[in-house]
Structure 1
Amino acid sequence: MILKGFSYIGIFFLYILSLLPLPVLLFFARLLYYPLYYIVGYRRKVVRVNLQKSFPDKDLKTIISIEKQFYKYITDLIFEIIKLNNISEKELRKRVKFNDLELIETYFNKGESILACTGHYGNWELCMLALGLNITATPYVIYKPLANGVFEKWFQKWRTQFGNIFVPMKQTLRQVVATKNKATMFCFASDQTPVREETQYTLQFLNQQTAVLLGLEKIALQTNRPIFYFDVISVKRGYYEVNCVPLCLNPKETQNHEITDLLFDHLNNTIQREPAFWLWSHRRWKFTV
């Protein structure tokens, strides 16, 4: 009960903050960067180890430079996400631009569904929110629910304000079957870590043997829906572009794990281009495989 009360108080203050213009929030983000990085050192050891193992060819000076850029990005991300509780359609359209959506709309115009995938890169929350404004079909976003029910309800409220439907990971197949007669887009953020007991496949990703989820590939093989990769580009603070890249248009013609390999090849290229904008503070390699 006490935790629930603190959660409501926290959401109240987040709502007040969300009323401020994003440029003001980004000013607060830069102020937060200094104590978060230099004093608190939030997960600095995790970030440093992840970067060094992922880029063994980079010297310490370069690693530290990427590390500092990452902490500036993560503080921006915090305040950008707070703003999503109170963002207008006009501002959302201004801050996220989708390229080559006509490739996807071709399928929707024929009443067909597709699958989409990306990683935790850039501001995935902002881009997914904007997606509902930019396609004619219904976007279904696969996600892992929060343990805190109060914050889960708060997140659901703003995440779905522009037409998106969020589906708990364990209900994915059920929802795919339930919507099989209408044009949809099911979106996967596929760079999460499976639990050790459920790991079925590993691959080389960022110079490390990595356990990966196979949910996207399993759904693709069962439905033969075309897959597009969302390649996110951070244009400048608070602004993003998303390139809609065909990943696999005929899943049933692929070899075992080929789709998963393709996805992580694309994500690796995205990260290599601008490393600072991936979620390095996540314990992605929490067990050895």
Structure 2
Amino acid sequence: MSNEIIYKLLKLFIILLGCLPQSVAKFCSNIIGLVWFKTDKRHKDIALKNISNAYKSEFSPEQVFNLGKQVFQNTVHMIFDIAWAFRMDQEELLKHYTIKGYENLKNALQKGRGVLLLTGHMGNFELLVGAFGNDPDYKMYGAYRKFDFQPLERLMLEERQRFGVTMIPLRGAAKKIDAILRNKDVVGTLLDQNADWYNGVFVDFFGRPACTNKGMAILAMRTKALVVPMYIAKTDNTYVVEFLPDIPLQSTGDMIKDIENNTQNYTSAIESMVRKYPDQYFWVHNRWKTRPYSIISRKES
């Protein structure tokens, strides 16, 4: 079967899925999410371990288990909501959004520099593109990791770019993003995935060292771009999108220390957002996979 046919079948499936009433979609996603939670032991164990370690003194084992189950159900519901939103134009979609703190983005732009929008795998981050209209003050770009499966990549790119956001594949994008920021435009990216030790720095995330990509800190330091945290979360049938005040850039002249400190500040901002809606964070990802180097004695090995 050709990629073109697969793409058309995927698109038809998404359109049909989007026609389901919200109550039916919620019921189906709860059932599918529960089945996934019960059958996918590997990802279930990762999620429960991550939640347990993050909320050691705050959540009981029962609360950890229930939160883990919710995470799986909410993740499935994201797919239904993407399909639901796919059939709407931006004006109709924005009726379901409550946007807070947009002035924080505008204030950052008024400082005459580019802006990096910082977010994570929280809420239905795929629908963040709906929050950006054709604002004449800036052009909006999004940095993303391409799907290996070409028909899915084509479909998701179509969904992500339909409201005027230009998507940039992350691989080899540093110079392009640098130019965009120097042109005083806006680039959104996610900064909450595990990084290999040679691409990241270890910073505190929920009380544990998490290897985090240092690219955003380097870009901000090089271009003097402002970093504005933002997130999306679902409350009932409304999506709340909130822009937070920009994070002051640390610049002491010690490049290594500045990269660490800035990356820590960005990661702390993500943690504060996650704590507001822990059930809407993607705890299934093995965020703490890369561990700090340590010398192990022969007895321990």
- TM-score for both structures, normalised by structure 2: 0.83
Describe the SS at the equivalent of 2:172: helix
- 1:66-111 Cα offsets, whole Å, 9 max, x none, are 1122123112212112233322213321222222222322454576
Q: Is the 8 A contact 2:96 2:237 kept in 1?
A: no
Q: CA deviation at 1:46?
A: 1.7
For the structure 1 residues 141 and 132, does the alpha-carbon distance in structure 2 shift closer, same or farther, using more than 3 Å as the test?
farther
Alignment of 1:281 with 2:280, yes or no, is: no
Residue 51 of structure 2 corresponds to: 51
Which region of structure 1 is more displaced relative to structure 2, 103-112 or 146-155?
Answer: 103-112
Structure 1: where are the runs of 5+ without partners? Answer: none
- 1:236-263 Cα offsets, whole Å, 9 max, x none, are 2452231332212x45468342221111
Q: CA deviation at 1:223?
A: 0.4
Residue 190 of structure 2 corresponds to: 189
**Cα distance in 2 between the residues matched to 1:251 and 1:166:** 28
**Cα distance in 2 between the residues matched to 1:80 and 1:185:** 26
Q: Is the 8 A contact 1:117 1:229 kept in 2?
A: yes
Alignment of 1:101 with 2:102, yes or no, is: yes
Q: Is the 8 A contact 1:121 1:279 kept in 2?
A: yes
**Aligned counterpart in structure 1 of residue 275 of structure 2, from 272, 279, 289:** 272
Residue 144 of structure 1 corresponds to: 145
Matched to 1:213, the amino acid is: N
Q: Is the 8 A contact 2:193 2:212 kept in 1?
A: yes
Residue 296 of structure 2 corresponds to: none
Residue 225 of structure 1 corresponds to: 225
Residue 205 of structure 2 corresponds to: 205
Residue 67 of structure 1 corresponds to: 68
Alignment of 1:247 with 2:247, yes or no, is: yes
Q: CA deviation at 1:288?
A: 2.8
Residue 12 of structure 2 corresponds to: 12
Residue 91 of structure 2 corresponds to: 90
Residue 36 of structure 2 corresponds to: 36
Q: Which has the larger radius of gyration?
A: 2
For the structure 1 residues 26 and 59, does the alpha-carbon distance in structure 2 shift closer, same or farther, using more than 3 Å as the test?
closer
Describe the SS at the equivalent of 1:257: helix
Equivalent residues in 2 for 1:166-185 (5 A)? 166-179=167-180, 182-185=183-186
Alignment of 1:234 with 2:215, yes or no, is: no
Q: CA deviation at 1:151?
A: 0.7
Q: Is the 8 A contact 2:232 2:239 kept in 1?
A: no
Q: Is the 8 A contact 1:115 1:227 kept in 2?
A: yes
**Cα distance in 1 between the residues matched to 2:225 and 2:5:** 44
Describe the SS at the equivalent of 1:120: coil
Describe the SS at the equivalent of 2:245: strand
Alignment of 1:263 with 2:266, yes or no, is: yes
Which region of structure 1 is more displaced relative to structure 2, 107-116 or 86-95?
Answer: 107-116
Matched to 1:193, the amino acid is: N
Which region of structure 1 is more displaced relative to structure 2, 35-44 or 161-170?
Answer: 35-44
Which region of structure 1 is more displaced relative to structure 2, 219-228 or 2-11?
Answer: 2-11
Q: CA deviation at 1:60?
A: 0.7
Q: CA deviation at 1:119?
A: 0.9
Alignment of 1:154 with 2:159, yes or no, is: no
Q: CA deviation at 1:203?
A: 1.5
Which region of structure 1 is more displaced relative to structure 2, 175-184 or 222-231?
Answer: 175-184
Describe the SS at the equivalent of 2:65: helix
Structure 2: where are the runs of 5+ without partners? Answer: 293-301
Q: CA deviation at 1:273?
A: 2.8
Q: Is the 8 A contact 1:225 1:251 kept in 2?
A: no
**Cα distance in 2 between the residues matched to 1:203 and 1:217:** 13
Q: Is the 8 A contact 2:228 2:246 kept in 1?
A: yes
Q: Is the 8 A contact 2:196 2:290 kept in 1?
A: no
**Cα distance in 1 between the residues matched to 2:61 and 2:137:** 47
Q: Is the 8 A contact 1:140 1:186 kept in 2?
A: yes
- 1:159-187 Cα offsets, whole Å, 9 max, x none, are 00001011111233222344356431111
**Cα distance in 2 between the residues matched to 1:147 and 1:65:** 33
Matched to 2:202, the amino acid is: T
Instruction: Give the count of matched residue pairs.
Output: 287
C-alpha RMSD of matched pairs (Å): 2.7
The percent identity for this pair of structures is: 18
For the structure 1 residues 40 and 106, does the alpha-carbon distance in structure 2 shift closer, same or farther, using more than 3 Å as the test?
closer
For the structure 1 residues 178 and 17, does the alpha-carbon distance in structure 2 shift closer, same or farther, using more than 3 Å as the test?
same
